[in-house]
Amino acid sequence: MPLREPFVSSAGERSERRILLLRARGDEGHEGWGECVAGEVPSYSPEMTETAWHVLTRFILPGLLEREVLDPVEILRSSGWIRGHHMARAAAEMACWDLQARELGVPLGELLGGDDDGVPVAIALGVHADLGALSDRVQEALDTGYAMVKLKVRPGHDVEPVRKLREQFPTLPLGVDANGAYALEDLPRLRELDEFGLVMLEQPFAPAAWLDHARLQGALQTPICLDESITGEAELQLALELEACRMVSLKPGLVGGLHVARRMHDLCRDRGVPLRCGGMLESGIGRAHNLALASLPGFVVPGDLSESRRYWVQDLVTPEFGLVDGRMPAARGPGIGVEPDLDRIEVLAVRRRGFGDLA
């Protein structure tokens, strides 16, 4: 799928997404959909679209055939011996959550224990060399109803654009996201961001730089929000134990699915750690799953759940996602609350593999 415009971050520039979708069909004919959030290259995570395809088709999906499964939590037990590959595993598990919610005739958010009030959302803006154009994009986002702006930063493009936005929008809820572009020797530069009253500084260092994140958080007033570092429950527990952050960006497709994401939500809520639901340039299928998770009460910071038209000329679902009174509405229909556009998916598909009745 081509992006509406190139998306630039410290990890590089992207102009299209190669998306892996998974469809699950139950005995009564209901279908659920999942989306793998892995990227095309291993710049964000070791997992890629190609590795997820291999792990799903070679190891995970064949093990699901001829088995009676009564709960999505059971889906991954047959592949519990696989180390890592959380994104591939999550795609299968989340498709089955959608399937179960459709079989029960309830919205997925309700099945997870969330509310139906919709959620306030943030918009993530990539690196802009033209600060005037950046200000225009922020004003457009505020006029649309976004509750927060998250700006991508990297060395050489950080304090100046933040200062410009803070001068122009003094009350704007503003956060920054470094995607691991800095190192501990950048501490003096990162300290300068404290004066701007930011909601968060997201993922300043590499994912495994636990001690450096803890040192930085001890030196900053601005909450560090860990994202790429939080790939599962063990990583979350380590972050909290080391006090390496004061906020967490939780992505179900990154941590292994909705079941583990819900447990991690509960842990953060018990510890008083605010959550936001991150996005990974998903189509409307993945976005719908994120929205269902974000309806849980611990998600108190606006997450990256932008409208469909923010990224896509045309999404893969109907209806497409749009803000209503500054919030992303919760699903009203069963499951993820949107229907995959099968004709469009068929036109865009470059590879298919079926198992069982879908072979």
Please report, as a single letter, which amino acid is at residue 291.
L
The alpha helices in 69-130, defined as continuous H runs, are: 86-104, 108-112
φ, ψ for residue 103 (rounded to 5)? -65, -35
Is the peptide bond preceding residue 319 cis, with omega within 30 degrees of 0? yes
CA distance 91 to 51: 13
Task: Please say if 251 is a catalytic residue.
Answer: yes
* Residue 200 exposure: Cα atoms within 13 Å on the Cβ side: 29
Name the packing angle between helices 86-104 and 258-271 (round to 10°). 90
Q: What is 284-314 written as a DSSP string?
A: HHHHHHHHHHHTSTTB-S-EE---HHHHBSS
Q: Which two tokens stand for residue 173?
A: 């809820």
Identify the active-site residue in 251, 259, 262, 310: 251
- Residue 250 β-bridge partners: 277
The torsion region of residue 33 among left (phi > 0), alpha (psi -120 to 50) and beta comes to: beta
Active site residue 152: yes
**One-letter-per-residue 3-state SS of 52-74:** HHHHHHHHHCHHHCCCCCCCHHH
| 22 φ/ψ angles, rounded to the nearest 5 degrees | -135, 130
Beta strands in the chain (DSSP E): 2-9, 12-16, 20-25, 31-36, 119-125, 148-152, 174-177, 201-202, 224-226, 247-250, 275-277, 303-304, 317-318, 327-328, 339-340
Catalytic residue among 102, 150, 152, 157: 152
10 Å Cβ neighbour count for 353?
A: 11
Q: Which residues are catalytic?
A: 152, 251
